[in-house]
Amino acid sequence: MIPMAELKPPVFESASDAMSAQLTAGVRRLAYEMGAELVGVASADAFEGAPAGHHPRNLLRRARSVVVMGARLLDGAFELAPSRAYSITYQVANLELDRIAFHVAKYLQGEGHRALQVPASPPYDLERNMGDLSHRHAAQLAGLGVLGKNSLLLAPEFGPRIRLTSVITDATLEPSAPLDVDLCGDCDICLHACPVDAFEGAGIVDKSACDANHVRTGERLQLEGWEQMCGVCIRVCPVGSSDAERRRRGETDG
């Protein structure tokens, strides 16, 4: 569903602004209609602090904008995470986002622009354990959320229970305003819940320990061919949690 705020008539200062706004609205509309629940835009210029080789212009030379889209994961998949249900839901969400990103890129191409989808998950830069583009950092720049102590993007509506994908384009789109909010506060539940103590501090993760745990989780759950994920630091996060909301309303089972 398209947020009501995006249906308000815009005010343009020039013809180019009007064209940019119209194209941005078209991108957002398509992404929402195809199933995205979060859509934002960041200027490629905002990525100047990106690691070498991982800037949008390393993937598309004349990139001007990055469209970031998110999909909420199923709450029920987290009840017993790590589990087969969570790992399979994780991969299905990635596939759905890849489908949405492909069609958004095709839409931009049809409007005369170059566009490139960045997969929601692999491939990675294996030497540095990094994706070609950091979707979570892109999403933060695009106003979809903020980075939490678990080093994941926290969306105000859904917390970390989301997957993300991006489309890089040479089109000039209207950028979204980044959020200025602390969603973690004094909470540090995630830091203590990690089964392998991979957190070295707020927002600092030992990626090798985390990934090794994913592999062991996959072996234990016999998930060959599927994403092998843990999900504990996501499951325990109260931001955007339906369980936390139920507790506030007194609707827990016991």
Rounded Cα distance between 142 and 170, Å, is: 16
Token digits of residue 70: 């998110």
The reported pLDDT for the residue numbered 242 is: 79
Q: Is residue 20 part of a domain?
A: no
Do 169 and 108 meet the contact criterion of CB atoms below 8 Å apart?
Answer: yes
What's the start-to-end Cα distance of the chain, in Å?
34
Structural domain boundaries, residue 205? 26-245
Rounded Cα distance between 168 and 177, Å, is: 18
Rounded Cα distance between 249 and 81, Å, is: 24
Q: Is residue 1 part of a domain?
A: no
Please name which of 223, 125, 113 lies closest in space to residue 171, comparing C-alpha atoms. 113
Q: Is residue 9 part of a domain?
A: no
Q: Is residue 251 part of a domain?
A: no
Q: Is residue 252 part of a domain?
A: no
* Predicted model pTM: 0.88
Do 167 and 116 meet the contact criterion of CB atoms below 8 Å apart?
Answer: yes
The reported pLDDT for the residue numbered 6 is: 58
Domain count, the chain: 1
Q: Is residue 152 part of a domain?
A: yes
Do 6 and 28 meet the contact criterion of CB atoms below 8 Å apart?
Answer: yes
The reported pLDDT for the residue numbered 254 is: 41
Q: Is residue 153 part of a domain?
A: yes
Q: Is residue 8 part of a domain?
A: no
Q: 227-251 burial string, b = 16+ CB within 10 Å, else e?
A: bbbbbbbbbbbbbbbeeeeeeeeee
Strand partners for 118: 166
Kindly compute the dihedral angle of the four CA atoms of residues 107, 109, 112, 118, in this order, to the nearest 10 degrees.
110
Please name which of 61, 51, 176 lies closest in space to residue 116, comparing C-alpha atoms. 61
How high is the mean pLDDT in each 10-residue block of the chain (254 residues)?
Answer: 59 76 98 98 96 95 98 94 91 96 98 97 75 95 98 97 98 98 97 95 91 85 75 96 62 50
What is the Cα Rg of the chain in Å? Answer: 19
Strand partners for 125: 130
The reported pLDDT for the residue numbered 127 is: 72
Token digits of residue 160: 């970390």
Rounded Cα distance between 203 and 103, Å, is: 33
